Structure 1
Amino acid sequence: MGAAPVAAPAGWTTVVVGAAVLAAGATGGLGPDGIPVDLAATVVRATADLVAVLAAGAALSAVLVPGRVPGADRVLTVAAAAWFCVLLVEAAVRGALLSGRPLSAVRADDVVAYLTGPTAGAGLLAAGATVALLAGCALSGPAAPGRGAGPPALALVIVLAGAAAPAATGHAAASGNAVVAVPGVVLHVAAALVWTGGLGAMLVLAHRDDLLTTALPRFSRAAGWALAVLASSGLLAATARLGSPVELVTTAYGALVLTKIVLLAGAAALGGLTRRALRAGRVPVLAWAAVEILVLAAAVGVAATLTRTA
């Protein structure tokens, strides 16, 4: 996979982390007694989500154009290693939150208590095991000559499972309507990764017209399905968590959900413009896609705060 301009991933990272911090600050997710720990938890969760998007984009690019993106396995391997490291840091931060200690004084037993205590700890453990499996898939031998390292579809499924595990065992599992909330949040995370990661993959493939010509129409169809799943699963998850529509404007959680709805609606509108340009044979759709992924990056940041504060 060709290298993307440095400014692009740096900009996406800034948007994701910035949106998460702003959302947490606006809804009381930071302090006042533990601002450093709360801030660290917000940043590390947003970073984990961002690395998951990177891994999804690498896997999806290999699915869309099998055997023709030779660098995808390398990106996937690096993403898996980075993701695992971020999860280790998150475990330490969550251990500090659970014990009430500052980050500098967190102990190994605090981390173990978190991982073996609340359901969210089990989700983080499951995510770590899944990411280790992803690394093994990325490092495995080619499934077939010219097909790259590991089965791309399997790698994509593993990425989606690893990203969904913390969300599925967090506030969704604690909901009074968990039977609806948990499947809803799993589908929501998977659809968001396919949409956002796929857009990133398209931008990276932009310098190869032969690859883009094949991948872009395929991704456009996948993005349409992802948007439908994202909207329906988001509605299910919000319905399970909110008692009434009024809570969208009267609670901190509702305000975050409403913000995310607005961002996703904007990204969907940009996606519609991109698809229309594609059908008309106008390929300068990448500028629209770049703006779309920035809007989605902000939505990912808000979603990270939803996971943290709900």
Structure 2
Amino acid sequence: MTSAAPVAPPSGGTPRLPARPWWLIAAGPVAVLVAVLAVLAAGSYTHAFDALSGFSDPGAAVRYGLPVATVLAELAVSVALGALVAAACLVAPGRAQSRLLSAAGVAAAVWALAALAQLVLRYSYVSAISPTAADFGTGLGAFVTDIPLGQVGLAIVAIAAATSALALAVRGAVGALWVAVLPLAALAVQSTTGHAAGAANHELAVGAMFLHLAGAALWVGGLGALAVVVVRRSGASDSAADAVARFSPVAAWCFAAVGVSGLVNAWIRMEEPADLTTPYGTLVLVKAMLLAVLGALGWTHRRWVVGRLADAPERVRLLFWQLLAVELSVVGAVSGVAVALGSTAPPVPDDVPADTSPAYQLTGSPLPPEPTLARWFTEWSLDPLFAFACVAGLVVYLRWAVRLARRGDRWPVGRTISWSAGMVLMFWVTSGGPSVYGHVLFSGHMVQHMIMAMVVPLFLVLAAPVTLLLRAIPARKDGSRGPREWVLALVHSRWGQFLARPVVAAVLFAGGMVAFYYTPAFEFALTNHVGHVWMVVHFTLVGYLFANALIGIDPGPARPGYPQRLLLLFATMAFHAFFGVVLTSGTSLLAADWYGNMGRPWGPSAIDDQQRGGGVAWGIGELPTLALAIAVAVMWTRSDEREARRRDRRADRDGDAELAEYNAMLARMADRDERR
């Protein structure tokens, strides 16, 4: 393209950037073009209607318009999400942040329009009714009110419109971060549709799909946000170098999320290497190839451009623009191939297998074998979200500890071991035996609950992750908010201080169990993957707050004295034991429609298993309680020893003036009593 060529300076020297790098807009058309070509190559749209005997083709506008609208919607939501995250975390308050929020509002408006067009065209596609038909409007109304696919599409349109309005209305990093939750919610809703909705392993497919969509959207949107930050009529902005450097590790994690989730999605839908020769397998290979190209471009950015951008000559800035343009174009192509994949039948059909067993009808997975001690460690059901979170948490913590060691600071090895144990245990709880048997046994669910609420938080609290973060990550000087600033803002915020108070944490910890198990929230967590994710996050976080209030090393609220801590601990655990006793002696089955209809040929009855779960809640709770009590007692003893040493040092300095003053006070009191 001639417009991309550097402009020669009047009298030699380094080349100048063009005022407007128009090649950046090539990403959108490239994505749309690749989407249409990939769909036609796969034959998913042209041959779909041949299999539907008795249905007519709704027309070329639907065949070609649906992939175009889908790509535009995905690119727009990506730009909106990336611009919001960049405004919250990458740039300082000022013109760059204001431009990002405006860009997010405009992108969300485009997203809303494209999602609306996608909804209409999708109904026409699945119903084989042309949009010009007389009864199209009536059918569309029923589609968005009665059919789950239509309801999801309408919800996404509403979320996109709300995102546009709020992004244009809010100002500042806090507002941008809150608004960024909306696109993530839309991606979570979207992950339940398409191939994931009909996959045999529904939870695995939905988790992998959300990880894939969120990682790709943040990656694509982050690149678009960099273009917004850097592009100005006069060249690059002052905050460009910092924004690019800060986005580099974010892009690396997005690359990992997209790659891992893509492998999981392909593994679910292909059974053998020969499936790679199918249209679906071909698109998977093309997407993997493009993803590898993106990884290479990102590595090139990190190695050759990011470190030199702040004080580089114009030729390096030009190299940055060229790499960004190519990267955006390849991202657009990946988006187009992703749309084609979503519209192509995989080798493993999405139809639910004809398994009429009650367990399969309820959980979407075959009934596991009868649990034994060995099977608690050999039965696995991978949860991509929490598996990725555990691996990422372990990697980040170890990198921070290594960073401290390289600069000569000491970080206790015991804390690193504690964090590693917590991450490994959390991975097992969410993807191992407790997760497998927690779906079919109340006692298995209670094992999972007790470990993630009472055992895992102990390891995490003793690892002091907030203290490590504050020491490993330098503070930003330009007013922007990075991980350090956001964590400090959360710790010192009004809500953070309130929720971390020992009494509040104890009430949430103990009362939350009653509110969860004796309300519809329990059944929602069993029947809905979003509810399951919320349950895991909620109980782990509440357990962390409670443990941190008692034995925490990290900064937090004003903790009471050690006697009060022990009293609070025993009061909370007494309530917890009472909860276990109620379950053990109860005769009313919780979530009866779930556990009562599991149809297990092995193990105790549902009510006997629930009573066993009460014993698990009571028994497992005793060990963490004992560990917490011992930890509080040890901290109390060490505190007294430190106070004694402090007094001894002060006595050495001032000749034990405090003791002399105390003896003098006693002598004056005795003298006064003698005179009386």
Q: TM-score, normalised by structure 2?
A: 0.42
Distance (whole Å) between structure 1 residues aligned to residue 333 and residue 238 of structure 2: 31
Q: Secondary structure at the match of 2:298?
A: helix
Residue matched to 1:43 = 68
For residues 57-107 of structure 1, the C-alpha deviation after alignment (integer angstroms, 9 at most, x for no partner) is 321331211423212222222222221122221221122123222232262
1:304 and 2:331 matched: no
Change (3 A) 1:216 1:280: closer
Q: Secondary structure at the match of 2:239?
A: helix
Give the superposition deviation at 1:28.
Answer: 0.6
1:188 and 2:179 matched: no
**Structure 1: unaligned runs, 5 residues or longer:** none
Distance (whole Å) between structure 2 residues aligned to residue 236 and residue 159 of structure 1: 23
- In the TM superposition, 1:20-169 aligns within 5 A as 20-31=35-46, 33=57, 34-63=59-88, 64-68=90-94, 69=96, 70-105=98-133, 107-116=136-145, 118-142=147-171, 147=172, 151-169=175-193
Give the superposition deviation at 1:229.
Answer: 0.9
Paired residue for 2:326, among 286, 291, 294?
Answer: 291
Change (3 A) 1:66 1:162: farther
Structure of greater Rg? 2
Give the superposition deviation at 1:208.
Answer: 3.5
- In the TM superposition, 1:159-308 aligns within 5 A as 159-206=183-230, 207-249=235-277, 251-278=278-305, 280-281=307-308, 284=316, 285-308=320-343
Change (3 A) 1:89 1:181: same
Distance (whole Å) between structure 2 residues aligned to residue 112 and residue 191 of structure 1: 33
Give the superposition deviation at 1:279.
Answer: 5.5
Q: Check conservation: 1:58, 1:201, Cα contact below 8 A.
A: yes
Q: Check conservation: 1:172, 1:181, Cα contact below 8 A.
A: yes
Change (3 A) 1:116 1:9: farther
Change (3 A) 1:243 1:123: farther
Q: Check conservation: 1:188, 1:234, Cα contact below 8 A.
A: yes
Moved more, 33-42 or 222-231: 33-42
For residues 6-29 of structure 1, the C-alpha deviation after alignment (integer angstroms, 9 at most, x for no partner) is 834541221011010000000012
Q: Check conservation: 2:99, 2:229, Cα contact below 8 A.
A: no
**Structure 2: unaligned runs, 5 residues or longer:** 1-18, 48-56, 346-676
Distance (whole Å) between structure 2 residues aligned to residue 288 and residue 40 of structure 1: 30
For residues 262-300 of structure 1, the C-alpha deviation after alignment (integer angstroms, 9 at most, x for no partner) is 111111111111110136525523321221111111001
Distance (whole Å) between structure 1 residues aligned to residue 31 and residue 192 of structure 2: 21
Distance (whole Å) between structure 2 residues aligned to residue 261 and residue 192 of structure 1: 13
Q: Check conservation: 1:95, 1:114, Cα contact below 8 A.
A: yes
Distance (whole Å) between structure 1 residues aligned to residue 148 and residue 282 of structure 2: 25
Change (3 A) 1:240 1:117: farther
Identity score, percent: 34
Residue matched to 2:370 = none
Distance (whole Å) between structure 1 residues aligned to residue 170 and residue 244 of structure 2: 27
Q: Secondary structure at the match of 1:309?
A: coil
Letter in 2 for 1:265: A
Letter in 1 for 2:294: A
Q: TM-score, normalised by structure 1?
A: 0.88
Letter in 1 for 2:43: G
Q: Secondary structure at the match of 2:238?
A: helix
Letter in 2 for 1:65: V
Distance (whole Å) between structure 2 residues aligned to residue 202 and residue 73 of structure 1: 13
Paired residue for 1:13, among 9, 20, 28?
Answer: 28
Distance (whole Å) between structure 2 residues aligned to residue 7 and residue 263 of structure 1: 23
Distance (whole Å) between structure 1 residues aligned to residue 67 and residue 208 of structure 2: 23
Distance (whole Å) between structure 2 residues aligned to residue 5 and residue 309 of structure 1: 38
Q: Check conservation: 1:94, 1:111, Cα contact below 8 A.
A: no
**In proportion to residue count, which structure has more helix?**
1
Letter in 2 for 1:252: P
Q: Secondary structure at the match of 1:151?
A: helix
Letter in 2 for 1:151: G
- RMSD (Å) for aligned C-alpha atoms: 2.3
Distance (whole Å) between structure 1 residues aligned to residue 237 and residue 37 of structure 2: 38
Moved more, 266-275 or 166-175: 166-175
Q: Check conservation: 2:244, 2:306, Cα contact below 8 A.
A: no
Structure possessing the higher relative contact order (Cα contacts under 8 Å, 6 or more residues apart) = 1
Q: Secondary structure at the match of 1:288?
A: helix
Q: Check conservation: 1:187, 1:230, Cα contact below 8 A.
A: yes
Q: Secondary structure at the match of 2:343?
A: helix
Distance (whole Å) between structure 1 residues aligned to residue 286 and residue 147 of structure 2: 28
